[in-house]
């Protein structure tokens, strides 16, 4: 491994209509829980607590700030934050909920978003579950998804959601390590069959990925621009 990683994943409180990817229009989203994982022991779980110590509907501002401080401390200790689509979702949501925009922008630029790295190379996105299973990993729990997590949390099925966010953080970490060990990311495309991307140098940070040349997307009907993921980094 070229880096010491700390994987991060969050789940939100607000129900977003299925198929809507413009989550920004539905903010504030609220964060129900998060998980961080450094490859040792079990993932660390984060969630809101009531005065009585029970699970809360969402994390309060100070609780999200504590998560940001933890991520900052980890980077000072030599860890690289690791996500799958954290640039386009997890970290800007954390910024919105904590109010620590400048701090989160710095974290976002210096962290490894594996999905964004693939996007910069290929011009298309890729799901964590598909990438994980392509590399022979377990992937996401059967019958569970990020779309269902807010509903389950609202129904009091906290254990299911906490298990889900923990598994996503673990999968993110395990995928990063396995790809670096093998020097390649493999997955199966429904349209194109077996696919792979050589990654002999390991994962790039967001800052490094942004320096890559733009890929050929002439074959795509509606290719996404990089600004889809990066626009919030440059807002005042």
Residues 6+ apart with CB under 8 A from 170: 7, 35, 37, 43
The residues facing 83 across adjacent strands are 113
* Residue 126 pLDDT: 95
Ramachandran angles phi, psi of 223, nearest 5°: -65, 145
List of the chain residues with pLDDT < 50: none
Distance (Å) of CA 13 to CA 83, 94, 114: 19, 13, 24
Rg of the chain over all Cα atoms, to the nearest angstrom:
17
Residues 6+ apart with CB under 8 A from 227: none
* Residue 236 pLDDT: 63
CATH of 4-234, one of 3.90.226.10, 3.40.50.2000, 3.30.420.10, 3.10.20.30: 3.30.420.10
pLDDT in tens, 145-201: 888 899 999 999 999 999 999 999 999 999 999 999 999 999 988 777 788 999 999
Tokens matching residue 80? 């690289």
* Residue 4 pLDDT: 95
Residue ranges covered by each domain of the chain: 4-234
Of the candidates 58, 63, 37, the one whose C-alpha atom is nearest the C-alpha of residue 168 is 37
* Residue 147 pLDDT: 84
Tokens matching residue 145? 């998804």
* Residue 165 pLDDT: 96
Q: Are strands 79-83 and 193-198 parallel, antiparallel or unpaired?
A: unpaired
């Amino acid at each position: 491994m070229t880096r010491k990683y700390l994987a991060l994943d969050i789940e939100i409180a607000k129900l977003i209509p299925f198929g809507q990817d413009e989550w920004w229009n539905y903010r504030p989203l609220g964060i129900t829980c998060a998980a961080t994982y450094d490859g040792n022991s079990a993932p660390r779980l984060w969630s809101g607590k009531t005065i009585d110590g029970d699970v809360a509907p969402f994390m309060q501002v100070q609780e999200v700030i504590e998560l940001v401080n933890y991520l900052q401390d980890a980077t000072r200790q030599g860890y690289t934050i690791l996500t799958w689509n954290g640039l386009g979702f997890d970290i800007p949501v954390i910024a919105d909920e904590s109010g620590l925009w400048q701090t989160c922008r710095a974290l976002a630029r210096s962290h490894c978003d594996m999905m964004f790295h693939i996007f910069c190379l290929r011009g298309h996105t890729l799901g964590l579950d598909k990438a994980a299973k392509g590399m022979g990993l377990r992937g996401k729990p059967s019958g569970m998804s990020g779309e269902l997590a807010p509903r389950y949390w609202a129904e009091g099925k906290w254990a299911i959601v906490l298990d889900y966010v923990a598994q996503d953080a673990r999968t993110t970490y395990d995928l990063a390590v396995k790809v670096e060990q093998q020097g390649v990311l493999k997955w199966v495309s429904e349209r194109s069959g077996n696919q792979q991307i050589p990654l002999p140098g390991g994962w790039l940070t967001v800052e490094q990925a942004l320096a890559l040349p733009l890929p050929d997307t002439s074959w795509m009907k509606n290719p996404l621009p990089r600004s889809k993921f990066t626009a919030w980094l440059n807002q005042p």
